Structures are given as C-alpha cells and as structure tokens.
Amino acid sequence: MRQVEDPLVLITGASAGIGRACALAFAAEGWSVAVGARRADRLETLRGELEAAGAPRVFHRVLDVTDRKSVAAFRNGLLETLGPPDCLVNNAGLARLVERLDEGEGEAWREMIETNLVGVLHMVRTFLPGMEERGRGHIVMIGSIAGRQAYAGGSVYCATKRALQSLCRALRLETLGKGIRVTSVDPGMVETEFSLVRFRGDETKASGVYEGFRPLEAEDVAACVLFAATRPPHVNLDEILVMPTAQADPWHLHREESMR
C-alpha cells in the first residue's frame, strides 16, 4: 500500500548485492528510485535495469556516505530532479577482515565505523527533517544478525550493527507522532560480495563462507524491505530478522557434505 502517488525510494550502496536487489524490487512495484554508490559504472548499468523493471523515474549519482560533501551533492541533485524521498534505505555498509581486537591495527575499524554508522547518521540527518516537515516517511536500516549476537573476529563490525539497533529505537522515540516509520531488517548470511569485500578480494576465502549450505540471496532481503515499506501508513515493522533455514545463529550452520 502506498502512502503517496509516485512514491520515491532512496537506496545507498545500490551498485551490488542487497542494495541493487532492493532497487530492482521497488522498481518492479512502480516506485521511482534514487540510487547512490561509489562505483559510477555500475550505477549507469543499474539505471537502465531500473527503467526496464518499471521505475517511472530514476536518479543515480556517485555517493560516498562517509563524505558529507558527497552526501550534500547527492541531496541537491535529487531534490532538483525528483524531489525528496519517501523512503530511505540505508544499505551501504561493509565488514573488513576477521581479526581479534588485540591484533587489530585500527584501519579496518575506522572504515567500518565510518561507513556502517557515521554514513547512516549523515544520511538520516540529511533527509529526516524533510520527512518530518511533510508528516510522513520511512527509514529502513539494513542491519545484521551480527548486531544481535556478536562473534569472535567480528567485534567492530558487530558493534556497528548493534549501534544501528539503538539508533532505530531512539529514532522511533524522537519521531513519535510525526508520521515517521523506522524499520531494521537484520539478515543472517547472504551470498553477495560481502565476504569478497571482507577478505579484500580473496575469492577462495569468500566462497568458503557459503560452502555446504544455502544462504540467503539478496532478493530475499529485498523482499523483506519492500514488504515493510508497503504496509499501510499506520503499520510499522520495527524489526525483521531473516535467516537461512540452515542457519540458527552466527555460530550454528548445517552444512551438507554433498554441497561442498
């Protein structure tokens, strides 16, 4: 159900994985779509795919959520062409390396904190005031099971995703009565470029993460995001935890020898 005619969704980190899948899912439902990411070539390709999928209007521009100037330039371009977004999907994020805290050098920590948390703060600070003025809007965070249950070697990544949970809950309180919806969609293991990024391009390590079981696909998570965004205006899905059937928590997976 739509709150407005020709609704507009803004998705960060949209050049691949969950972000791209979300963009295509919303386009197929007839939403106008604004997409931002750091890889310009992929955004250009995605633009054509979104138009073919059914998006009435498409805006694409390079976006680095950690850079306030980049966020401001994206906002200005979007407002000049399509107008303000009705739904903001904060998808841009990453994990970097698997390391113990007492062995970390700090470079990976800063990259994860700046992207996964500070980047989200930049985006919410930029677009939430307009939503409050209009008396409607939806902010969606792509969280993780890691924000609910931490695991060894992923302490900083887990901490950033845990912080998003607190941010969502605070936003629900701060925007109460203003027509704003806030949702956290927290997936388990999803086979995207996530592990390839984490292991700095090591394809062997990345593929090994998903051996022996069927993980979620990006489209599975996108379906959850779209479902939350298309509920009636009086319905807010605060949290969605979506897991592969073969995964119970960050540590317990059922791997089959026949799939290795």
Of residues 155, 168, 169, the one with CA closest to residue 112: 155
- Residue 103's identity, in one-letter code, is E
Annotated catalytic residue, options 59, 74, 109, 157: 157
Measured in whole angstroms, how far is the alpha carbon of residue 15 from the centre of its chain? 11
- What is the 3-state composition of the chain as percent helix, strand, coil, each rounded to the nearest 5? 45, 15, 40
Active site annotation includes 210:
no
DSSP letters of 223-243? HHHHHHHTS-TT----EEEE-
| Mutual angle of helices 17-28 and 218-229, in 10-degree steps | 50
Token pair, residue 193, equals 């470029």
Residue 179 CA to residue 139 CA, distance in Å, equals 11
Kindly report the CA angle at 155 between 151 and 206, in degrees rounded to 5?
A: 70
Token pair, residue 174, equals 């701060």
On whether the CB atoms of residues 225 and 22 are closer than 8 A, the answer is yes
Residue 165 CA to residue 14 CA, distance in Å, equals 21
Enzyme catalytic residues: 157
